[in-house]
Chains A and B, each alone.
Chain A
């Protein structure tokens, strides 16, 4: 007695298996879409920009003429910006993370702080620009300075650093804290001598990645009104400055075709800086991160 017709079963099975194969290749193609885009993007920028990239390009100031345009002021300006953003955002971010992970009790206020941080992470960067323009540039009278832009950028990347630092601190096993308490250490001693040293690779990795976001971020700088064609380098925290993405934006906007190539060269410089920072972050992650 036969309950099933073999041929029908085989037919349906083959259909389902082919279906699976077809969809698998479709899913694979969808995955390569992102990769192909990245390759095209990088290829375009490298081929367009590499001819303009020279020592002169790195050491010249901005110019109205494409072949004399340089990126010196923007490159140095971005470094100044980072000199403000790095200490401010890391101190505030790590401090907040230590508070939330080690001290904060479960109550409404601390829940509110946590929810607030995750919401801040979703606020568009241009809105941070409006905040910076109103509070730092106008109210505190810092002007369009390194300090004003640095504070704005610090607030922008603060949620990223907090979350990274929280994860790093959380990954330190409790046994280590308890061992430290057992030796008579106080809470703060435990944090400084046990928790932080163990968490520092993770904190550093997260901070460098956040920094690399800040260095490429344009919108807040545009809103604050950072100038573009500057013929001098900043000489202090209250000095005017320009930054890499600002300079690229200005070049990209210009209608003359020659400036497209200058913009590409500028993007190459920016991407090199980013690549460098990311490599350092990955190096730290692989070299020093402990797994418990």
Chain B
């Protein structure tokens, strides 16, 4: 009897203690979601931060330079003392040259290796190649830039005699190598998700593996492949270190790939490492260029998202 009573009192004490715990528990249960939500808000604040920063500072820039001069001017000469010219087309031309060369390099190689990995390679090969691609994707861009400047450019100069030390070709090729793993692995994912029954159906009709890959798997995975290419283009447009090291700093509005160029990103780097003071027109110009760059990549990202959503074949 006594022991039972003791038991009871101790359990009452426990209950009291528990109810206190319950209170803090309730507070924690209420507070945590709010706290976690505020962490999630940071990413939204980041986006707003980026957009407002770019808009405000670009607005400041357009108080000094007219929008039409900026959008349609074919000369970008911000450092010419008396009459600086801010026409962004040369910078866009530089960016597009590099991007185009990168795409020409990366798309055939990327899709071909994706086909090999998803349709031909044994599980063992796939398991060795995929980590190597991950390593390639993890190489910092500064290393690629150094590689472009000290290896690819001298090598190309032996093949193309007129090639300058700074040009669009070498960084273009290296940016292509940089985005190659991205195209390969995303395209491979898209091809691997094509159900095996479709392959087997075609094989049963007597198709060769090549015919299966080209006529069955490729069309079925097309939306994923195109989306991967568009995403890679967006990466190439925003790539900075390779083009600042190997591309040069002479913005030109032409189609020459053997001569020194300047991309949008390389211009921002040039100003940031130079001594243009805070509040000068040159200082604000990096925001207007950054804003243009942001819009380019945003459009590409949304396009990739739209393509993979809209045209996806669901099995």
Q: Do A and B come from one complex?
A: yes
The one of B29, B208, B238 that contacts A125, using a Cβ cutoff of 8 Å: B238
Q: Mark A86-118, 1 if CB is under 8 A from B, else 0.
A: 000001100110111001100000001100111
Residues in B with CB closer than 8 Å to A162 are 43
Q: Which single residue of chain B is at the shortest CB-CB distance from A37?
A: B177
Answer whether A99 and B36 are a contact pair too, CB < 8 Å, given A130-B268, A223-B269: yes
Given the complex of chains A and B, what is the CA–CA distance between A74 and B146 in angstroms? 18
Whether B143 and A100, one on each chain, are in contact in the complex, defined by CB atoms closer than 8 angstroms, is no
Decide if A197 is an interface residue (CB 8 Å cutoff).
no
Residues in B with CB closer than 8 Å to A186 are 25, 29
Chain B residues numbered 131-184 whose CB sits less than 8 Å from any CB in chain A? 132-133, 135-136, 138-147, 149-151, 177, 180-181, 184
Q: Which single residue of chain A is at the shortest CB-CB distance from B117?
A: A31
Given the complex of chains A and B, what is the CA–CA distance between A278 and B150 in angstroms? 26
Given the complex of chains A and B, what is the CA–CA distance between A187 and B293 in angstroms? 43
- How far apart are B140's CB and chain A's nearest CB, in angstroms? 3
- Of the candidate stretches B50-58, B96-104, B193-201, the one touching chain A is B50-58
Chain B residues numbered 43-77 whose CB sits less than 8 Å from any CB in chain A? 43-44, 46-47, 49-50, 53-54, 57
Chain A residues numbered 174-227 whose CB sits less than 8 Å from any CB in chain B? 186-189, 191, 209, 212-213, 215-219, 222-225
Given the complex of chains A and B, what is the CA–CA distance between A268 and B276 in angstroms? 33
Decide if B255 is an interface residue (CB 8 Å cutoff).
no
The one of A28, A215, A217 that contacts B120, using a Cβ cutoff of 8 Å: A28
The one of A20, A222, A270 that contacts B208, using a Cβ cutoff of 8 Å: A20
Whether A31 and B129, one on each chain, are in contact in the complex, defined by CB atoms closer than 8 angstroms, is yes
Residues in A with CB closer than 8 Å to B36 are 95-96, 98-99, 103
Per DSSP, chain B at the interface is helix
Whether B272 and A222, one on each chain, are in contact in the complex, defined by CB atoms closer than 8 angstroms, is yes
Q: How many A-B residue pairs have CB under 8 A?
A: 246
Whether B136 and A38, one on each chain, are in contact in the complex, defined by CB atoms closer than 8 angstroms, is yes
Q: Mark A13-39, 1 if CB is under 8 A from B, else 0.
A: 000110110011011101101110110
Decide if B115 is an interface residue (CB 8 Å cutoff).
yes
Residues in A with CB closer than 8 Å to B287 are 130
Decide if A158 is an interface residue (CB 8 Å cutoff).
yes
Given the complex of chains A and B, what is the CA–CA distance between A187 and B207 in angstroms? 54
Answer whether A99 and B33 are a contact pair too, CB < 8 Å, given A45-B143, A123-B50, A126-B240: yes
Decide if B298 is an interface residue (CB 8 Å cutoff).
yes
Residues in A with CB closer than 8 Å to B239 are 124
Number of interface residues of B (CB under 8 A): 84
Decide if B311 is an interface residue (CB 8 Å cutoff).
no
Answer whether A130 and B54 are a contact pair too, CB < 8 Å, given A37-B177, A119-B298, A124-B238: yes
Answer whether A96 and B272 are a contact pair too, CB < 8 Å, given A37-B177, A40-B151, A218-B142: no
Whether A248 and B44, one on each chain, are in contact in the complex, defined by CB atoms closer than 8 angstroms, is no
Q: Which single residue of chain B is at the shortest CB-CB distance from A32?
A: B113
Decide if B39 is an interface residue (CB 8 Å cutoff).
yes
The one of A138, A188, A224 that contacts B32, using a Cβ cutoff of 8 Å: A188
Subset of 28 A-B contacts with CB under 8 Å: A16-B210, A17-B208, A20-B208, A27-B120, A37-B177, A45-B143, A92-B42, A99-B40, A116-B47, A120-B47, A123-B238, A124-B293, A130-B286, A131-B46, A133-B272, A138-B278, A158-B42, A158-B43, A215-B140, A217-B140, A223-B272, A225-B272, A245-B140, A245-B142, A249-B245, A252-B145, A252-B149, A264-B146
* Residues in B lying within 8 Å of A, measured CB to CB: 25, 28-29, 32-33, 35-37, 39-44, 46-47, 49-50, 53-54, 57, 108-109, 112-113, 115-117, 119-121, 129, 132-133, 135-136, 138-147, 149-151, 177, 180-181, 184, 208-211, 231, 234-235, 237-241, 244-245, 265, 268-269, 272-273, 278, 286-287, 290, 293-294, 297-298, 300-302, 305
